[in-house]
Homo-oligomer: A and B are copies of this chain.
Amino acid sequence: MLPGKPKSKHRSGCPVSISLEAFGDRWSLLIIRDLMVRGYRTFKEFEQSGEGIATNILADRLRNLQASGIITTEADPVDRRKRNYRLTEKGIDLAPVLLELLVWGARHEDTGAPCATIEELAKNREAVLAEVRRRWRDRDATPFLPPFQNRGGGGESR
């Protein structure tokens, strides 16, 4: 147990269950993805991320992620009056979960991700995770992965 872990009431003592209480919905992990691999930092960027999240849902999910200690806000380096969202260390530690979701989805569903790219990521798991973490530490907002084009025809990917 890391120092500062919250003590609280959960539906069970299982770590999987408790993790899902923090981000087990259809949107939270997409916000985490946008922060982690697309270099997004603002409400507007999340809103326009191409998945069609409603403004009130986005605001609610950001609030929950902040309450769970997964994201935080900090002053924009250029305009100090503006606040940007940023993953905490607890948040960036979700990188392996995201990577496994990406690999699973690309293998089993008809996605816009080129399979060769994804298999490459899966093969270089440790290097990929180290680079994602480096960008987070250095506040390097260069996107690690581009948004994938939609292959199914529904929705849009910007």
Which of A40-48, A73-81, A89-97, A136-144 interfaces with chain B?
A89-97
Once bound together, how far apart are the Cα atoms of A8 and B150, in whole Å? 10
Number of interface residues of A (CB under 8 A): 64
Whether the pair B148, A15 counts as a contact (CB closer than 8 A) is yes
Once bound together, how far apart are the Cα atoms of A18 and B112, in whole Å? 10
Nearest chain B residue, comparing its CB with the CB of A88 = B108
Query: With contacts A109-B5, A109-B6 known, is A33 near B13, CB below 8 A?
Result: no
Contact with B along A1-29 (1 / 0, CB 8 A): 11001111111111111111110111101
The A contact surface, by secondary structure, is loop
The complex is assembled from copies of this chain, and their number is 2
Q: Which residues of B contact A113 (CB under 8 A)?
A: 13-15
Query: With contacts A29-B16, A97-B97 known, is A10 near B148, CB below 8 A?
Result: no
Q: Which residues of B contact A109 (CB under 8 A)?
A: 5-6, 10, 15, 18-19, 22
Q: Which residues of B contact A154 (CB under 8 A)?
A: 8-11
Q: Apart from A6-B109, A11-B154, A19-B104, what are 17 other A-B pairs with CB-CB below 8 Å?
A: A10-B150, A11-B155, A12-B148, A12-B150, A14-B113, A14-B148, A15-B103, A15-B118, A16-B30, A17-B105, A18-B105, A20-B101, A21-B26, A22-B109, A96-B100, A97-B97, A97-B101
